[in-house]
């Protein structure tokens, strides 16, 4: 999203005006580069690839690359722009595949690619974007290729694990956390790592920002688990209880299921049923909203965000560190 007067809106809380201005200018460069990178020799492929990019998106991952690059002395490097494009193309590609897996009709308020065309087009468009991301990664050198390959492995593994229950004898909550870390945390960690590396920061800052990205990215996704249950649609733009209705295990649900309180018998019974029925869904949603699992889940997110902030001690005091700390605070308390 772009404000014609001030440039692109920033998905991170940047209070320093000079830093914000630099990041907005660099985001314009990223947007222009992305438009070129997704262009195919065939207009049909270009149209499909542009579909979700033009549907909006906060460009959070490329912004994190640009912000992390500010910790080094090469923040204006062309490699930083390339790295920002790599993570956004990877993210966009995963959305095409996600929508097929979820049989989604909408994405960012627009028809999903699988709804507008079909599953084959959506899957192959995602593959096209992944391949474009890989081409760009090769320009960044062997170490970047290795990082991207490991990130892609974790992302896909997370997507696969999301479709299966926790193996017998394992903790369902740990299984869910592994899914979230793979699907969401891994690419956000790579975004922060790429920014630090290609911005010219030292190894200590690279390591700290990569760990920060993993934690804050995981916490952000877990907060979505909570919002799915707690928020009202008019407040968040989300349909309350969507994951609950679809039988997707989320942190509050798993915590409630792990409860040994006999008073939770009815809720546990409901959580084991098909909640496509409106009455049963409404009852389960009401009981879950009142359950201690909600506060337990919130406390877990706050703890992860606090751990992420603690890692930022490796960075010097200044507007970059302040922005990253503020983002962790937003994750811990977000309501939308």
Report the number of distinct structural domains present in the chain. 2
| Of 278, 287, 178, residue with least CA distance to 229 | 287
**Average pLDDT value for the chain:** 87
Q: What whole-number distance in Å separates Cα of residue 205 and Cα of residue 255?
A: 35
Residues 276 and 157 in one domain: no
Half-sphere exposure of 193 (CA within 13 A, CB side): 22
Residue 183 in tokens: 């699907």
Contacts 24+ apart (CB under 8 A), 236-244: 236/335, 236/336, 237/336, 240/285, 241/275, 241/281, 241/284, 241/285, 244/275, 244/281, 244/284, 244/285, 244/288
Q: What is the DSSP string of 208-277?
A: HHHHHHHHHHHHHHHHHHHHHHH--HHHHSSPTTHHHHHT---HHHHHHHT---GGGHHHHHHHTS-TTS
pLDDT of residue 69: 98
Flag whether pLDDT at 106 surpasses 60: no
Per-residue model confidence as pLDDT tens digits over 232-269: 754 444 567 888 888 888 999 999 999 999 999 999 99
What would the mean pLDDT of 29-46 be, rounded to a whole number?
Answer: 86
pLDDT of residue 116: 57
Residues 42 and 97 in one domain: yes
Q: What whole-number distance in Å separates Cα of residue 27 and Cα of residue 19?
A: 12
**Of 173, 201, 229, which marks where a domain is finished?**
201
Flag whether pLDDT at 108 surpasses 60: no
Whether 105 is covered by a domain: the verdict is yes
Residues 114 and 233 in one domain: no
What would the mean pLDDT of 113-131 be, rounded to a whole number?
Answer: 74
Phi, psi of 2 (to 5 degrees): -125, 130
Residues 131 and 18 in one domain: yes
Flag whether pLDDT at 228 surpasses 70: yes
The overall longest dimension of the chain from CA atoms, in Å, is: 63
In angstroms, the Cα distances linking 135 to 63, 143, 266 are: 21, 14, 53
Flag whether pLDDT at 98 surpasses 80: no
Per-residue model confidence as pLDDT tens digits over 195-224: 999 999 999 999 999 999 999 999 999 998
* pLDDT band of 47, cuts 50, 70, 90: confident
What would the mean pLDDT of 2-27 be, rounded to a whole number?
Answer: 81
Flag whether pLDDT at 2 surpasses 70: no
What would the mean pLDDT of 139-155 be, rounded to a whole number?
Answer: 96
Q: What whole-number distance in Å separates Cα of residue 257 and Cα of residue 261?
A: 10
CATH, residue 261: 1.10.600.10
pLDDT of residue 10: 86
pLDDT of residue 236: 45
* pLDDT band of 94, cuts 50, 70, 90: confident
Whether 6 is covered by a domain: the verdict is no
pLDDT of residue 174: 95
Whether 302 is covered by a domain: the verdict is yes
pLDDT of residue 237: 46
Residues 51 and 63 in one domain: yes
pLDDT of residue 5: 46
pLDDT of residue 113: 58
- Domain with 331 in it: 202-335
pTM summary value: 0.89
What would the mean pLDDT of 67-89 be, rounded to a whole number?
Answer: 97
Comparing 51-65, 125-139, 265-279, the range with the smallest average pLDDT is 51-65
């Amino acid at each position: 999203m772009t404000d014609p007067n001030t440039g692109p809106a920033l998905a991170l809380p940047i209070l320093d005006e000079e830093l914000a201005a630099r990041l907005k200018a660099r985001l314009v460069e990223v947007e222009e580069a992305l438009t070129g990178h997704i262009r195919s020799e065939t207009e049909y492929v270009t149209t499909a690839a542009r579909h979700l990019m033009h549907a909006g998106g906060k460009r959070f991952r490329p912004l994190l690359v640009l912000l992390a690059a500010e910790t080094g002395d090469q923040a204006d490097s062309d490699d930083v722009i390339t790295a920002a494009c790599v993570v956004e193309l990877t993210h966009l590609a995963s959305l095409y595949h996600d929508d097929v897996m979820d049989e989604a009709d909408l994405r960012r308020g627009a028809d999903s690619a699988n709804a507008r065309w079909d599953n084959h087009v959506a899957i192959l468009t995602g593959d096209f974007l992944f391949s474009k991301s890989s081409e760009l990664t090769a320009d960044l050198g062997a170490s970047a290729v290795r990082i991207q390959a490991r990130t892609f492995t974790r992302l896909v593994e997370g997507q696969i694990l999301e479709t299966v229950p926790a193996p017998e004898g394992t903790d369902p909550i740990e299984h869910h956390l592994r899914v979230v870390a793979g699907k969401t945390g891994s690419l956000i960690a790579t975004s922060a790592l790429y920014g630090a590396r290609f911005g010219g920061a030292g190894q200590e800052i690279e390591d700290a920002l990569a760990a920060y990205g993993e934690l804050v990215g995981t916490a952000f996704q877990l907060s979505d688990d909570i919002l799915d249950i707690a928020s009202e649609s008019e407040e968040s733009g989300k349909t309350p209880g969507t994951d609950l209705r679809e039988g997707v295990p989320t942190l509050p649900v798993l915590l409630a299921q792990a409860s040994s309180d006999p008073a939770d018998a009815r809720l546990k019974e409901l959580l084991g049923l098909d909640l496509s029925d409106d009455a049963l869904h409404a009852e389960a949603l009401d009981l879950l909203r009142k359950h201690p699992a909600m506060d337990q889940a919130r406390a877990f997110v706050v703890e992860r965000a606090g751990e992420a902030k603690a890692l930022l001690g490796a960075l010097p005091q200044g507007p970059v560190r302040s922005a990253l700390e503020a983002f962790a605070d937003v994750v811990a308390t977000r309501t939308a």
